Chains A and B, each alone.
Chain A
Amino acid sequence: MSDHSLETDLAPAGTVAVVGASAPLGEIQTEEAQKSSFYESGLEVEVRSQWTYARRRFFRHRLAVASLVVLTVILLAGAFASWVAPYPYDGIDLDAAGTAPTLSGGHIFGTDLLGRDYFSRVIYGIRTTERVAFLVAILAVVIGTGIGMVAGYYGRWVDNGLMRITDLVLTLPGLAVLLTAAAFLGKGSPYRVAVILALLFWTTLARLVRGQFLSLREKEYVDAAKAAGAGDLRIMFRHMLPNSLGPIIVFGTLILGIAILTEAALSFLGFGIQPPTPALGKLIADGQDVSQSMWWLVLCPGLTIVLIVLCVNFVGDGLRDALDPTQRIRA
């Protein structure tokens, strides 16, 4: 007679059923012993197997994997912009002014009125974008998760209060608030912009995490942990958070994409990152005045943004299938 450990990714939060007694036939473990060995060993097996299973699932998605590769290339190009870009960001070359994109001659994205190579400018823009976007995503995730955890775990009054605050933030139109904040608080530094963006994006994530924690709270292993004397923080971080990581990660990638688009909109309108820091939105804005004749100044940076966000979304989709296969993410 063998004993089985079943992995099921059908059960919420990847609970593992340990079936069959590991004790020899006839011996009955005391209920406490059973519970604690199940609890301790079950949890370890669960976390390990869930990740390997998820990784396998992710790599089955060719589109997601391809997007990940493309994204890595782009991000590296941005990070090492000064080496990758063929021309300097402000390299004025009046002789080559206003040329359309050509494959030969080194101006893949064409040049603007001042002869600056747009491909290089775009690469520098990517560098700024990736800094801001990652910062926004990380901040929003940290804040949102923190608040969501507290709201979901403690419930009742704490939950109510925090959710009212989120509601309040949501009654204000996002972009408008961002613009207002940016207009008055000072545009300029990418880090300031990132912080402002993060302060708006945390709300939906907080709702998501809160929902997760509210339902996880009812799980038996939480009771078991409490009975074993674990403190609140330990329970939240060690037991509940790992089970919520799936949707959080997926939502994080969503936020990443939205952050990129929003930052671009802000710098396009002139309220985001200010020159001389390169910004993709600004590049498009620069091209707006001469868009009739030099349409590539609008097309190329835009296509770049589309490509980046597309890849981010595909990766996010792949992650969702890998980490959250049967449930829809509910905010």
Chain B
Amino acid sequence: MRSTRRSGFVPDPLLSIRDLTVDFATEDGVVHAVQGVTYDVYPGETLGIVGESGSGKSVSMLAVLGLIPQPPGKIVRGDASFKGRNLMQMPNDELRQLRGGEMAMIFQDPMTSLNPVLAVGFQISEAIIAHNSDVGAEKARERGIELLDLVGVPNPDQRYDQFPHEFSGGMRQRAMIAMAIANSPSMLIADEPTTALDVTIQAQIIEVLKAAQRETQAATILITHDLGLVAELADRVVVMYAGRVVESGDVYTIFANPRHPYTVGLMESLPGLTVGDESLQPIPGQPPSLISLPPGCAFHPRCSLSNGRPRCRTEVPELHETGHPEHWSACHFLAELEGYKSKLVTEAIG
């Protein structure tokens, strides 16, 4: 379900993140996992957060939910507000009430994300009872079976009492989704929901996610490195690299007219549709170490647009409007990408 915001009316964001910066203290030094990240999530939309491993896409979300352990981790600065409430200043108990209630998260690997010694159904009911103290065990069980049915688990009343290792990978992920939507959240965060699954199962889980969205009308944050998933599900996209947001905009614009060299590289590295002899075009080089980031723009060592220009090496680019509505890019020379059309467009046309 795509939201239509082209009517011009812009509602208040559901979640607002401003200048979020998270560090981790490790033996080898301080890891700057997230630096100055800023984005919004609007009610009912699906926001795709795209980036490779280590881009900080998961950490920023975990920090917002209060799931980063604060001894090694440290939220250095930044604000996050949910429905107008400041999450960073909130007492732990209040934040806890939001977790699993209004803000729910689905994790990547359902095998390790479910407690292996407790029954699956029990774990779902636990989520229900934690947020609805008036609900008794019987009622919670009923609701749990309903949820399992909703996400497409066959024989839900039997499966309810089974253990995670008796479920297949796809079914476990369905159970995780059931657990997340148990309390009708207004925001659903899916962290790489299909990465750990077989390709054939991935498609099924995407359908389950869509069903869950329909059921709850929740805003969905889809964290992934899979551009195909983003193309299919997202309304808007935020692209992250080395802990920073480098581009954000609606999904069509990002895919068709990217204005950041990294996004361009991502689009170009997708296999072409035309049957041909082209070799794949990966982005040369490796993502930087988050302990010793390159000065200036983090992408400049691999950037073909930069060509070693000094500004890229010295100045960290801020997000600028590209001239298109709601399309931001953090590149000093984004203007030079004006008129660039990704091969998705050119292939479709030509």
Contacts and interface: CB of A to CB of B under 8 A. Distances in A.
- Whether A and B touch (Cβ < 8 Å) is answered with yes
A59 to B, nearest CB: 15
A20 B286 CA distance: 9
Interface string A192-220: 00000000000000000000000000000
B8 interface: no
Contacts of B285: 1
Nearest to A4: B286
B284 interface: yes
Contacts of B284: 1
A324 to B, nearest CB: 15
A19 interface: yes
Interface residues of A, number: 4
Q: Give the interface size class of chain B.
A: under 10
Contacts of A4: 286
A60 B286 CA distance: 31
B157 to A, nearest CB: 38
A304 to B, nearest CB: 36
Contacts of B286: 4, 19-20
Interface string B267-287: 000000000000000001110
Interface in B278-322: 284-286
A303 B284 CA distance: 63
Nearest to B279: A28
Nearest to A2: B285
A20 B285 CA distance: 8
Give the interface SS of chain B, mostly helix, strand, loop or mixed.
loop
Nearest to B285: A1
Interface string B145-161: 00000000000000000
Nearest to A60: B27
Nearest to A57: B27
Nearest to A6: B286
A4 B284 CA distance: 13
A1 B285 CA distance: 7
Nearest to B284: A1
Contacts of A1: 284-285
A4 B286 CA distance: 9
Nearest to A28: B279
Contacts of A19: 286
A1 B304 CA distance: 12
Contacts of A20: 286
A320 B286 CA distance: 32
A4 B288 CA distance: 12
B21 to A, nearest CB: 25
A19 B284 CA distance: 12
Interface string A1-23: 10010000000000000011000
Interface string A103-142: 0000000000000000000000000000000000000000
A4 B289 CA distance: 12
A57 B285 CA distance: 30
A312 to B, nearest CB: 26
A20 B284 CA distance: 10
A19 B287 CA distance: 12
B285 to A, nearest CB: 6
A249 to B, nearest CB: 22
A1 B286 CA distance: 10
Interface in B80-133: none
B18 to A, nearest CB: 33
Interface string B246-286: 00000000000000000000000000000000000000111
A25 to B, nearest CB: 8
B233 to A, nearest CB: 32
B153 to A, nearest CB: 32
Interface string A146-161: 0000000000000000
A90 B286 CA distance: 72
Nearest to A3: B286
A1 B302 CA distance: 9
A4 B285 CA distance: 10
A23 to B, nearest CB: 14
Interface in B202-258: none
A19 B285 CA distance: 10
A6 to B, nearest CB: 9
B287 to A, nearest CB: 11
B227 to A, nearest CB: 23
A321 to B, nearest CB: 11
A327 to B, nearest CB: 16
A88 B285 CA distance: 72
A246 B285 CA distance: 34
B52 to A, nearest CB: 14
Nearest to B302: A1
A186 B285 CA distance: 70
A21 B125 CA distance: 51
A160 B284 CA distance: 50
Interface in A259-309: none
A232 to B, nearest CB: 34
A326 to B, nearest CB: 11
A4 B287 CA distance: 12
A1 B283 CA distance: 12
Nearest to A20: B286
5 contacts: A1-B284, A1-B285, A4-B286, A19-B286, A20-B286
- Chain A to chain B: the 5 pairs with minimum beta-carbon distance, closest first: A1-B284, A1-B285, A19-B286, A4-B286, A20-B286
